[in-house]
């Protein structure tokens, strides 16, 4: 039976949803024992995704006032999770980025996801793993192409 592209996309998304529904969610224990607030975690994730950001961009992205963002970042700096520096071209502009400790803190989430993927792949045969690797390569190439298009404004 021939399916349309939209039908196949819906089928893949449906199967993905089913997979995620049966995989137990694991969150690193550090995330439960941390004294970081939800607002602080949002900033840490934002800095992880953007590598670095102006203080004004952080406030704008999270929909909070600049003084609020500044206060939250100040607390993250005290916890040694974020580094802040002045822009060399404009000392009034504050640039924030994750410290090595902040990067390690955030990376524990991604390592947890990788561990889940390893468990999922563990039960596959060599032939199935080869197919999974081929699909992963196709998805990676498409994601790379889209990222390249987004960065060049195409």
pLDDT tens by residue, 47-78: 999 989 999 999 999 999 999 999 999 999 99
Which token pair is 2?
């021939």
The predicted pLDDT at position 80 comes to 94
pTM given for the model: 0.65
Q: Tell me the C-alpha distance between 102 and 80, whole Å.
A: 7
Q: Which of 11, 6, 76 is nearest to 38 (CA)?
A: 76
> What CATH number does the domain located at 5-123 have?
1.10.10.10
* Structural tokens at position 108: 């524990």
Give yes or no for a contact between 67 and 57, defined as CB atoms under 8 angstroms apart: no
- Provide mean pLDDT across the span 82-89: 89
pLDDT > 70 in the chain, percent: 94
How many whole angstroms separate alpha carbon 58 and alpha carbon 69? 7
Q: Higher pLDDT residue, 74 or 106?
A: 74
């Amino acid at each position: 039976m021939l399916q349309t592209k939209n039908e196949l996309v819906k089928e893949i998304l449906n199967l993905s949803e089913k997979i995620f529904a049966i995989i137990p969610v694991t969150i690193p224990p550090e995330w439960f024992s941390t004294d970081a607030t939800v607002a602080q975690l949002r900033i840490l994730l934002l800095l992880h995704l953007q590598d670095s950001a102006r203080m004004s961009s952080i406030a704008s992205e999270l929909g909070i006032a600049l003084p609020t963002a500044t206060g939250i970042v100040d607390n993250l700096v005290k916890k040694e999770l974020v580094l802040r520096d002045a822009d060399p071209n404009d000392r009034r502009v504050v640039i924030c980025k994750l410290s090595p400790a902040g990067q390690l803190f955030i990376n524990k989430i991604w390592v947890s996801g990788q561990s889940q993927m390893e468990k999922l792949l563990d039960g596959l045969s060599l032939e199935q793993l080869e197919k999974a690797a081929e699909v992963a390569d196709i998805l990676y190439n498409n994601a790379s192409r889209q990222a390249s298009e987004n960065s060049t404004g195409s």
